[in-house]
Amino acid sequence: MLIRFTFSAFLFLTFFSAYLPAAAQERTYEPPEFAKKWSKPDVHPDHIVLNLTEDPATSASVTWRTSTKIEKGFAEIAIATAAPKFWRNAKTIEAKTEEMDASKIPDAKVISHYHSVTFQDLVPDTVYAYRVGDGKIWSEWIQFRTASKEPKPFSFLYVGDAQNYVLELWSRLIRQGYQKAPEASFIIHAGDLINNAHNERQWHEWFTAGGWIHSMLPSVPLPGNHEYSQFNRKDKESPRYLSIQWNHQFTLPENGLTDLRETNYFIDYQDTKIIVLDSNRDQDKQAEWLEKVLSENTKKWTIVTYHHPLFSASSGRDSPELRALWKPIFDKYNVDLSLQGHDHSYARGHVAPVEGKNVVSGLNMRDATGTVYVVSVSGGKMYNLRPNGWEDYNETRDRGAENTQLFQVINVNGDTLSYESYTATGELYDAFDIVKNGDGKPNTFVERKQEAIAPRRHDNTIKY
């Protein structure tokens, strides 16, 4: 028996040696190869993406792509029922069709038609089904739910930079996120969705990685620095432009600054105002716009999202000018949560309530908080954390992570906002609650990181 056991163990180790961790056996990464025309459009609708409007209770926008052979597009929509022929009640809407001529841009070399429809006069808190096509060639029927007109519990997903290894590695992350929160109402993409702004293949990777999730779970995207580039990347002296695909492939609210169309906007989702800022340009103009929007805000919860962090997670990434410009406005108007990207690591901390609100009857000020700031990364590119945390900001970084793909699930329920961050394999990595106290009192912060797994760093994870 001893001989057989020893021999079996020898065979096991020999056979499975190829599958030992990287520490025991280094591997060279081989990127996938794609067919020459893999990312080119054809007559079938693809890149179908659902976007929120300014009022998600009564409207929703959908955009899709085809080749230029499809000169006219249509969308059909009906209230979804369990009866398979619900489509008999469908309404047909002709799409706005635009040509995107990127044939002279080296990264793109494509001419496409983009079609978009904004569904209007929808019934709040109702499941709808829609499909898109040209009248003969159609997508499948796709379902979504409108927001409620009244305050009601809801959840949403938030992810940082996808950017690199999008089809290979980001795909598992967004799918795990949807698996964890299938009832989520939308997903915030905090910039750097791809690596090279105008690259058609990379955008096709992004749409392929998310697949039908993009068409069913409304996206709230914002541009990162990698959504801006020269049309010819070899010409470093020419101006940087927003991705040529951006305004064609997304249909977003146009309630922001005119010069920042569909990169700066806000959405009122039930009792929450979500404000999207473009941290790449016109930051001072956006500060004026932000002040006006917040001064008129009547929602219980306020969430801002943008790409470059006010409190950076990684070394050499500080943005002191942006922090000096925007943080006082966040403080003044009691912004609850700030969702950021850019730094390819994870950091979370909360700042003290603004001066003058630190002495409040009936509230333990050790638990009081101003804005909570989060930086996260969802793709496969990883940086190192700042070794001194946020000490030189005179603030405390409460939680950090390196070398870890993460997604976040945020639940809003009355006076409580609950935040949870998960790894790509579904483990809880971070958690906290923010509780509203009313009457102008600061929020209460409830730390829950003790519920999560141990901190992850480069020295206790597989080598990057």
Backbone angles phi, psi at 226, to 5 degrees: -80, -5
pLDDT digits (tens, 9 = 90+) for 230-279: 999 988 889 999 999 999 999 999 999 999 999 999 999 999 999 999 99
Over residues 106-122, mean pLDDT: 98
pLDDT digits (tens, 9 = 90+) for 19-67: 445 555 678 888 899 999 999 999 999 999 999 999 999 999 999 999 9
Instruction: Compute the distance between CA of residue 328 and CA of residue 151 in angstroms, rounded to an integer.
Output: 28
The pLDDT of residue 360 is 44
Structure tokens at 405: 């793909």
Task: Indicate the residue type of 123.
Answer: V
Instruction: Compute the distance between CA of residue 239 and CA of residue 230 in angstroms, rounded to an integer.
Output: 6
pTM of this structure: 0.93
Alpha helices by DSSP H, listed for 37-93, are none
Spell out the domains of the chain, with CATH numbers in brackets.
Answer: 46-145 (2.60.40.380), 154-356+364-460 (3.60.21.10)
Beta bridge partners of 96: 116
Instruction: Compute the distance between CA of residue 264 and CA of residue 257 in angstroms, rounded to an integer.
Output: 7
**Model confidence band, residue 365 (pLDDT cutoffs 50, 70, 90):** low
pLDDT digits (tens, 9 = 90+) for 133-154: 999 999 999 999 999 999 999 9
